[in-house]
Chains A and B, each alone.
Chain A
Amino acid sequence: MAGIGQGPGPDAVFAAKLAEGVFEIQKCGGCGTHVFHPRVICPACGSADLGWIAPTGRGTVYARTVVRRKPERGGDYNVVLVDLEEGVRMMSRIDGIAHDQIVAGLKVTASIGEGAEGDPAVVFRPE
């Protein structure tokens, strides 16, 4: 059981897991609510009993935008909000699909890819 005052905070725990190739979110031992992004206490009930679980990785695109950037600066890229099956939402990117094919409702699956600075980040691909 996680607890206040024990070891590193939830941001550091999440980052350490991600660096090892593990994507986990929190689940409240008090009320059962899934929590992302990582928090110290459950935003649904206030409990500090937040443990870590592996999500199914399956999600649905809630909203998307395509940031327009000149080709010489790397070209366009997409930014999305994905709702995971567990009921939490996260910002991410969809790889392996043309930007204009990404629409709300698209079913996607998580994997660990690279973020803006080459750091590990959760990204998605179409199912």
Chain B
Amino acid sequence: MRSKLSLRGKAAIVGAALAGCGEAHGKSSMEITIEGVHGALADAGIALGEVDAIATCQPLDMLSGLTLAQELGLNPRFTMNNRMGGSSFLSHTLWAAMLLELRLADTVLICYGSNQRTASGKLMTALGLPTYEAPYKPLFPLSSYALAADRHMTQFGTTREQLADVAVAARAWAKKNPDAFMRDPLTREDVIASRPVSDPLRVRDCCLVTDGGGAIVMRRAETAKDHPRPPVYLLGGGEGTTHRDISEMADLTVTGAAQSGRTAMDMAGVKPADIDVVQLYDAFTINVILFLEDLGFCKKGEGGAFVANGGIAPGGHLPVNTNGGGLSCVHPGMYGIFTLVEAVRQLRGEAGDRQIDGAELVLAHGNGGVLSSQVTNILGTEATL
């Protein structure tokens, strides 16, 4: 369904920065967040006082939008704190574009930070187990993804080796990224021999536990070129919410990415074959297989073959998670913001050894909950407008 009022190319990311990735000793989640904000504003050449709308989602602070306004000394016209897990920030960009297009705001800041590694050493979450799942003690969120992986293997014959190859590809990209947390060699055999946690998933199928944060600044396209770095335009976006608890997911092999991707690509007027680089929230190896299928990069059930044998690694047929992803680069708990910052890096040609030559179109995709919320953004250079 193509809406008559489209957000295509109406807003752009004009500043982006990371902060505190890896280990940020002695820093709170909000302090990491603000370091990212400082970096993104400097990158954009924008003064703090120009920010008139803010969006964030913090690990434990349920009123984090209010805390952010307070810590920045801002009285924003709009404060967005919508929490959908790791996909939140890719939804914030859509709301930002709406505010900008309607001229309800002029400068929108989207940011995140978490100190979960140095503060707790494990996933920090405000969530408890769902009422009808708690009696069976699933690991949260790991067992939910394990159930999805089991079902995909049963239904489509996806193999343990194919899951492992997702992690191996992420590590190969991370080796090209000096900012990635895990850069030592990783083989398929290493992944398959790693500690089992919740079958069929093993520890190397799981994202890292790191600190880290990121921030982006968005403005209307008409002024987006008044900044030091090339604008990255939001060409399309879409959401899909299918459930909250894995026991309520209708089909564990089909995620809301089918809807979010279709909506986003329809708005952008692009198809999967047009996309140069893909950034997916790879909380677990199965995610990448599911999302590549649901976003239309391969047919349903063929994701395992698509990622196998270096398919999404450097030199493969599709560059996926060029920063090393949540599996090898950074994963502070809600990874979505990092898909956007890496998209910006690629589209500005700033990605160093991992730069994809001629990258013009990037698909960034966030996942929230337990495959529950899916949000897709299509981002492009000026040439794609």
Count contacts between A and B, CB distance < 8 Å: 80
Known A-B contacts A90-B247, A104-B151, A104-B154; the reply to A65 vs B137 at CB < 8 A is: no
Task: Give the total of A residues in contact with B, Cβ under 8 Å.
Answer: 26
B150 engages A63 (CB within 8 Å) = yes
Is A97 close to B, CB under 8 A? no
Chain B residues in 8 Å Cβ range of A119: 135
Chain B residues in 8 Å Cβ range of A93: 136
Q: Which of B147, B200, B201 has the most CB of A within 10 A?
A: B147
A66 engages B199 (CB within 8 Å) = yes
Is B133 close to A, CB under 8 A? yes
Q: Give the CA-CA distance A81 to B248 in the complex, in Å.
A: 10
**Which of the segments B1-9, B50-58, B138-146, B373-381 contacts the partner chain?**
B138-146
Sort chain B's interface into a size bin.
Answer: 20 to 34
Chain A residues in 8 Å Cβ range of B134: 115-116
Q: Give the CA-CA distance A77 to B197 in the complex, in Å.
A: 11
Chain B residues in 8 Å Cβ range of A37: 131-132, 247-248
Chain A residues in 8 Å Cβ range of B131: 11, 37
Residue in B closest to A121 when the chains form the complex, CB atoms: B135
Tell me the chain B residues, 26-56 only, with Cβ under 8 Å from chain A. Answer: none
Q: Give the CA-CA distance A115 to B232 in the complex, in Å.
A: 51
From B136, B154, B196, B199, give the contact of A91 (CB < 8 A): B136
Residue in A closest to B131 when the chains form the complex, CB atoms: A11
Q: Give the CA-CA distance A66 to B131 in the complex, in Å.
A: 20
A interface, CB within 8 angstroms of B? 11, 36-37, 62-68, 77, 79, 81, 89-93, 103-105, 115-117, 119, 121
